[in-house]
Structure 1
């Protein structure tokens, strides 16, 4: 007998109510989302009344969504720029404002406490406020106009804010002129990082000799470091280190590990702490008329910075009495940073001078509030900082400052755990914190320059970061100027800023800055071209280098080879150069790569790929992926014995210079594995690396070598802050694309390396590309990796990414053929 169970009418009614309820909730949610999308002001048009304007401002958006701002006064133009920055990039500006002020934890919680504490200790916002007090009245007026525009733009958004605010339970904060100054300091910090290399040398000194440290961190000129001091012996004799176990047996070239637990806060600190990334440089070059088809200069620029979503840049044009400029602006800064007027164009790369020094301060054993100076004991300057933390009690701490600068070892665990904090502290001396720093004024004056002489005069106001500025004008001139301040050092005297110096010894104090007229400069060279790519720059009348830590010259060498490969260039060949992917850092390793045999089952297929690889890091190249997997494993083989140091630094540092130097000696001790009883040479190390590389590729990309394409692994990721680290949300907010190149190609795509999940993804590449044609500036082009909008739901959030990834470009015109939409701002 078969029985059928029937649900009671009551159960059916309950299920029906639940279904209706769920449907109702979904309808309500859909309606709210629709209302939100309709209410958002992410593409404003029409006419709007604004408090703070003096006269009406017209804004026309061209087909690339570049706003063309036309105003009766410069202050109104900057008000409008601030308004657009806020309406298009509100969340980006809010997170940057909080980062510079050390106030992330107010909305993100305890996870960002360490980065807030470090930024507060360095005193970025504190220094910005003191510097702003010295700004002239006119500059203050312009900065205030911009800030008023930002606040008006945020207010105009109403309740329908970017979704990030709802997800973090926050609202836009008040933007002040000092926030712009602070963000300029953060850019200087991002382009610096020498203090971190000094800390690395101190760290390595605990277990290695100075000669061994030079093998890990080779000097730019091999065998001739800018300092001759045995700093490792200096530190050991000083007794600076904590937790040193002299009885512990260490194999040759080994490191004692003293790692503390790696918390989420530590991971965020490493991710968000600006600066210290090796090889994060830029390219620029200019050709005079005798080297171009048109007979007038061509100028190219591609700054290599961290990829973010939305992008670091926002393109705009400003037109007002005394100003007519178009190019890349930084939301938060009231100026075009990279661009052109109607007669000149300019470009930046990072000079990378040593403008950050660590000083070892010896504490008074009877009074830790005092430290030793050349004239006896002195008291630290102190101030209290209070960090508000979401859903947690506030964090209070004291910031100490010596005569050199803020004491960072009390807020940076890596330094704190390294040194004996009962006896010593580490202070940071950094040019950007000087009261005389007024770099924002330099940008304002650059935008007003009508010729190269006026532009060079404006460059004198640039303080930090120091930049290699390559310029050109419509009359046919090309020029170069290193612009910024750097301490004057004497070659081979003292530590030359390469490692922390005893703060009580006057010989290590900064005596003076290099005068502007003695900085490297060049006008209309006979060769007909100028190029910089973070390589060593020397002034003709001052042979002392600005740093001992220049970037490797591979990009520069490739640029110069391509410039000289043809007698004349045009706009198309300039763009082709920007997309070049031949790695001159790979070519020296190709003989060893070709000679290496493997016992892996994929060895025969691998050998065919290896034989055909020439160092070109194309997206479709199997050789590029196999080579990079091999060189990654080889680097790990040689230097992972450095323990914590390698774990912390691999990724921020590529170790390529050290690898090349050690492999030049087939029997280098670094090629021997400390984990085996025998002594391996570099050929054996290479075979082990290739075996591991093939094992890795088979595990991650399958056994079919046709799937081993560089573009499958080398993914450019434009990261959103902070949702790049939040599962599911990161898929919506991050922007990704397969990408060519490596850390040394002109079209740079620097692999992360230290990551275990995908060491080959890249988060540092060309943040924009511009080419300026001085024969007809309306033929100039630009591209960058996201889009003008910071609203994740907008099609303009990511529309430029495919073009950027394929090295395509868009027109950068002051007189566009069409205007897509029009916005008028009128005084209230």
Structure 2
């Protein structure tokens, strides 16, 4: 072995031990890595364990740490140039970094010490002589030291990923202003019949289009999206014939490589916790300790509101608040923009300076789209100054029972989440978590006048009154982003629940087993691809008799289709393509007739793309509304025929003329995007990974896809990892899998070694005593 001062360089992958000389730890720490790169950290103090976690994250995911930090802070333009400027302006305007600074000061001294130890671990690795990953070299950048608040800004970025109700308000606002009531009520889910006209001018349309453009730009790099959420369920001991409760969880996020999570087993003086850490954050977010196990889904709570602000016509620095004029808070942000390549042929960019205005409610997000006719502010729980969410997640890692579990989660403000629970004493439970605003006026579906005092938030739902369940009578709990409360619940939570189909399917799978449930059953459930949401639309589609031989063949296949969206299904490919084209045929003429404008193309496409199968089925079966160009009695025969022709042409172009070969997995591909190299020719084939896949947005095995010309249906979101835990008094069985691999180094075997096993549900079985060692043992010495 070769030793250098302060560092060690690997000369080949067979090296068993490596040593770093590191300051910042009190005793030697051992990091054991198994053959798939999953690590166990053995330390004599908890702070040394968190230091070693920072060191490990940096060693395996250094580019991801740098990318996520830059993204959250609005500093991508420094390395990616002008193409990232729109995103940076948005991030600076929303102010995640400012919110992280405020949150740091509200944490306990213990939490700040953990963040400091983790940052010291990252920085210890940065100071070694090891070559940085190729992304740094190709972009010609270095990495500055990690700061404790950087971890909190990563946590704020997760909240932004899981909080999207402001976009619903933008869409509702646009629909109210532009569409006749029949159309608005049909295509906007949960749209109220008595929706008010919020504003009345044409500029709001351009502004909405600009906001939707920003939304799309963020989704391109993995921030936000419609089908982000997760599945989780827990079954009681009585369903497993006395072997202990079983908890399953598979969080859904935008897919990327490397995956956002990193498996760790952390062992310190008091700490002994195992599961998935979010890269950049020094806690296990999903996992278990010796006493309890937990899983998480997105609650879909409405924690964001938009407000129209009234600006003083005589002094644009003032806005109206409670009948008086108040000065905007203003901070200046300077964004540095990398010179275009080649530098010798392109001028240097001057730094872009923006003034971010804020009211007492929050930042003026309309400034980020350069439209000033309507000034719109954002109120969002993640921007609250007194955020103690990290304290809550840290205490969760140490919780020993239901009471301590709930006590820790009471400190979490954002994101709003569903937590499922099981413990070694055969208890199961559910707890809603996060700050959910109480509104005096409205239910967060439209921007409201900020100058009206009756429109302000009236505090938050008390934690003790948030939905919870402990050892329910039916013996199981299912959470799939579906509605969590009935009409009897006294508080408003959301109108943005996911459709109930995943939750219904999971419950049906649990109820269908006459024999005791096992871990193997849970694996099968997580891989299930039956799409209950297709049932109504398929019944209507298959009433069409077909105008040609090829039409009749396609309809015949669909009639015998069992609604399974598996990768080998021909019916799934025909259904999905026909559904997409039929939406366009039915809705485009209606929107054009109502709108008479073409400048707002992004909003126009958003309406069509987000129309569900249930909504479309209701439209084409309507007895009172003529949605189609054909007569009502024909029930859209013309549109059914022409859209099926378009679907057949599309699939023929992509897969050939043999309809029996039109398998869904051949035209539907999961793409693990790399930022930024997925958008760079030649580098994309090196850094990105893609493979054929089954599933749909409403299957338990979630797969949300968009159509891309010449490529087919590209899945950009889905399960980011999977875990299944069975716990009892004597043992814990923990199965897990990451969606790509443990390493973020493109040339590492662990970069993509789990891509295909993940789709095949080939789990990794962890051992609590770390007997499944190790190709590399690393000792950190003072």
Normalised by the length of structure 2, the TM-score is: 0.92
Q: Which SS does the other structure have where 1:109 is aligned?
A: helix
The aligned counterpart of 2:654 is: 700
Aligned residues: 755
The 5 Å alignment of 1:290-309 reads 290-309=238-257
2:543 aligned to which of 574, 585, 595: 595
> By how many angstroms is 1:656 displaced?
3.6
1:123 aligns with 2:95: yes
2:105 aligned to which of 133, 140, 146: 133
Q: Bigger radius of gyration, 1 or 2?
A: 1
| Further displaced range: 510-519 or 813-822 | 813-822
Rate the CA distance shift 1:184–1:697 in 2: closer, same or farther, 3 A: same
The aligned counterpart of 1:278 is: 226
| Further displaced range: 45-54 or 456-465 | 45-54
> By how many angstroms is 1:602 displaced?
2.3
Rate the CA distance shift 1:480–1:369 in 2: closer, same or farther, 3 A: same
> By how many angstroms is 1:259 displaced?
6.7
Rate the CA distance shift 1:257–1:442 in 2: closer, same or farther, 3 A: closer
The Cα offsets for residues 404-440 of structure 1, whole Å up to 9 and x where unpaired, read as 1000001035xx3xxxx24x30000000000111211
The 5 Å alignment of 1:28-47 reads 45-47=17-19
The Cα offsets for residues 547-601 of structure 1, whole Å up to 9 and x where unpaired, read as 1121111101111111111243111111100011000111121211212233356
The Cα offsets for residues 194-233 of structure 1, whole Å up to 9 and x where unpaired, read as 00110111122231145532211121xxxxx6x66532x2
1:317 aligns with 2:265: yes
> By how many angstroms is 1:462 displaced?
1.1
| Further displaced range: 589-598 or 378-387 | 589-598
1:167 aligns with 2:138: yes
> By how many angstroms is 1:349 displaced?
0.4
1:230 aligned to which of 189, 195, 210: 195
RMSD: 2.6
Q: Which SS does the other structure have where 1:665 is aligned?
A: coil
The aligned counterpart of 2:160 is: 189
The Cα offsets for residues 429-459 of structure 1, whole Å up to 9 and x where unpaired, read as 0000001112111111111112222111111
Q: Which SS does the other structure have where 1:744 is aligned?
A: coil
1:728 aligns with 2:682: yes
| Further displaced range: 178-187 or 364-373 | 364-373
> By how many angstroms is 1:646 displaced?
4.9
CA contact (8 A) 2:308 2:449 kept: yes
The aligned counterpart of 1:27 is: none
Q: In 2, Cα distance between the equivalents of 1:471 and 1:426?
A: 40
1:213 aligned to which of 166, 177, 184: 184
The aligned counterpart of 1:482 is: 432
The Cα offsets for residues 700-753 of structure 1, whole Å up to 9 and x where unpaired, read as 211111220000011111111111111221111111121111000000111124
Q: In 1, Cα distance between the equivalents of 2:20 and 2:656?
A: 58
CA contact (8 A) 2:275 2:284 kept: yes
The Cα offsets for residues 593-629 of structure 1, whole Å up to 9 and x where unpaired, read as 2122333562243233222212100111111101101
CA contact (8 A) 1:41 1:157 kept: no
The aligned counterpart of 1:26 is: none
Q: In 2, Cα distance between the equivalents of 1:60 and 1:816?
A: 8
The aligned counterpart of 2:368 is: 411
Q: In 1, Cα distance between the equivalents of 2:633 and 2:682?
A: 48
The aligned counterpart of 2:122 is: 150
The Cα offsets for residues 259-312 of structure 1, whole Å up to 9 and x where unpaired, read as 78999x99644523722x222221100000111134410110011111110011
1:335 aligns with 2:305: no
The aligned counterpart of 1:762 is: 715
The 5 Å alignment of 1:528-607 reads 528-538=475-485, 542-567=489-514, 568-599=516-547, 602-607=550-555
> By how many angstroms is 1:375 displaced?
2.3
The 5 Å alignment of 1:342-741 reads 342-391=290-339, 392-412=349-369, 416=371, 421-422=372-373, 424-489=374-439, 494-538=441-485, 542-567=489-514, 568-599=516-547, 602-641=550-589, 642=591, 644-649=601-606, 653=610, 655-665=612-622, 668-672=625-629, 681-741=635-695
The Cα offsets for residues 231-256 of structure 1, whole Å up to 9 and x where unpaired, read as 2x2322xx4x4188xxxxxxxxxxx9
Q: In 2, Cα distance between the equivalents of 1:804 and 1:358?
A: 39
> By how many angstroms is 1:688 displaced?
2.1
CA contact (8 A) 1:714 1:762 kept: yes
Rate the CA distance shift 1:540–1:359 in 2: closer, same or farther, 3 A: closer
Q: In 1, Cα distance between the equivalents of 2:15 and 2:454?
A: 58
Normalised by the length of structure 1, the TM-score is: 0.87
Q: In 1, Cα distance between the equivalents of 2:212 and 2:398?
A: 49
Rate the CA distance shift 1:67–1:260 in 2: closer, same or farther, 3 A: closer
> By how many angstroms is 1:101 displaced?
0.7
1:242 aligns with 2:203: yes
The aligned counterpart of 1:18 is: none
CA contact (8 A) 2:537 2:613 kept: no
Rate the CA distance shift 1:657–1:517 in 2: closer, same or farther, 3 A: farther
The 5 Å alignment of 1:64-103 reads 64-103=36-75
> By how many angstroms is 1:810 displaced?
1.2
> By how many angstroms is 1:685 displaced?
2.1
Rate the CA distance shift 1:332–1:654 in 2: closer, same or farther, 3 A: farther
Rate the CA distance shift 1:267–1:547 in 2: closer, same or farther, 3 A: closer
CA contact (8 A) 2:654 2:667 kept: no
Q: In 2, Cα distance between the equivalents of 1:745 and 1:738?
A: 16
Rate the CA distance shift 1:687–1:508 in 2: closer, same or farther, 3 A: same
Q: Which SS does the other structure have where 1:488 is aligned?
A: strand
- Which runs of 5 or more structure 2 residues have no equivalent in the other structure? 1-7, 340-348, 592-597
Q: In 2, Cα distance between the equivalents of 1:55 and 1:218?
A: 57
The Cα offsets for residues 70-105 of structure 1, whole Å up to 9 and x where unpaired, read as 111111100000000001000011000100111001
| Further displaced range: 770-779 or 507-516 | 770-779
Q: Which SS does the other structure have where 1:234 is aligned?
A: coil
> By how many angstroms is 1:814 displaced?
1.6
The Cα offsets for residues 12-68 of structure 1, whole Å up to 9 and x where unpaired, read as xxxxxxxxxxxxxxxxxxxxxxxx996699999422211111111111112332111
Q: In 1, Cα distance between the equivalents of 2:478 and 2:105?
A: 38
Q: Which SS does the other structure have where 2:695 is aligned?
A: coil
